[in-house]
């Protein structure tokens, strides 16, 4: 399992800690809202809206350096748009738990 990291954020900030803090604050604020939206859409079996939620979440996954999980999220999004399967649901949920747990203490 990949481990989230701040490599991308640090590379982008070039030492600008206020930018790092601001970006992490935005991620912490938006992530729970997007997860709620994802779960609600999924419960309602609205696969197109669920795909929209996955699309937003996968950017955060990439910001936190999870490249394999990002590829998995892209495939999950495609599945949802085609409404032809949800085989990647469990692994996607695991990923968003991992990034939530990573961001919590920051």
Partner 1 sequence: MNCIIIDDDAAARLIVSKLCNNHPKLNLVEEFENAIEAIKYLNGQEVDVIFLDIHMPTFSGFDFIKTLKNPPKIILTTSDKNFALEAFEYPSVVDYLVKPIVQERFEKAVSKLSGFTVKDNEEPVVTEDSTKELYVNVDRRLVKINFSEINVIEAKGDYIRIKTDGKSHIVHSTLKKIEDKLPQELFLKVHRSYIINLSKIIDIEDNSVLIKQDIIPVSRSNRGELMKRLNLL
Q: How far is Cα 51 from Cα 1, in angstroms, rounded to an integer?
A: 23
Reading the block at residue 61, the tokens are 């996954």
Contact region for partner 1 (CB under 8 A) — 21-29, 39-47, 87-95, 96-104? 21-29
Question: With b meaning 16 or more CB within 10 Å and e meaning fewer, what string describes 29-46?
Answer: eebeebbebbeebbeeee
Contact region for partner 1 (CB under 8 A) — 27-35, 39-47, 85-93, 94-102? 27-35
Reading the block at residue 101, the tokens are 């747990």
Contact region for partner 1 (CB under 8 A) — 10-18, 38-46, 82-90, 91-99? 10-18
How are the residues of the chain apportioned to helix, strand and coil, as percentages rounded to the nearest 5? 75, 0, 25
Residue 9 Cβ, how far from partner 1 at the closest point, in Å?
A: 9
Q: Is position 62 an interface residue for partner 1 (rule: CB under 8 A)?
A: yes
Q: Is position 30 an interface residue for partner 1 (rule: CB under 8 A)?
A: yes
- Residues forming the site for partner 1 (CB under 8 A): 8, 11-14, 16, 19, 22-23, 26-27, 29-30, 52, 55-56, 58-60, 62-63, 74
């Amino acid at each position: 399992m990949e481990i989230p990291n701040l490599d991308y954020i640090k590379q982008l900030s070039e030492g600008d800690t206020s930018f790092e803090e601001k970006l992490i604050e935005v991620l912490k604020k938006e992530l729970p809202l997007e997860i709620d939206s994802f779960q609600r859409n999924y419960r309602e079996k609205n696969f197109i809206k669920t795909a929209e939620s996955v699309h937003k979440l996968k950017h955060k996954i990439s910001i936190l350096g999870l490249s394999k999980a990002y590829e998995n999220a892209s495939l999950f999004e495609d599945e949802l748009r085609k409404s032809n399967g949800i085989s990647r649901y469990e692994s996607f949920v695991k990923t968003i738990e991992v990034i939530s747990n990573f961001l919590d203490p920051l």
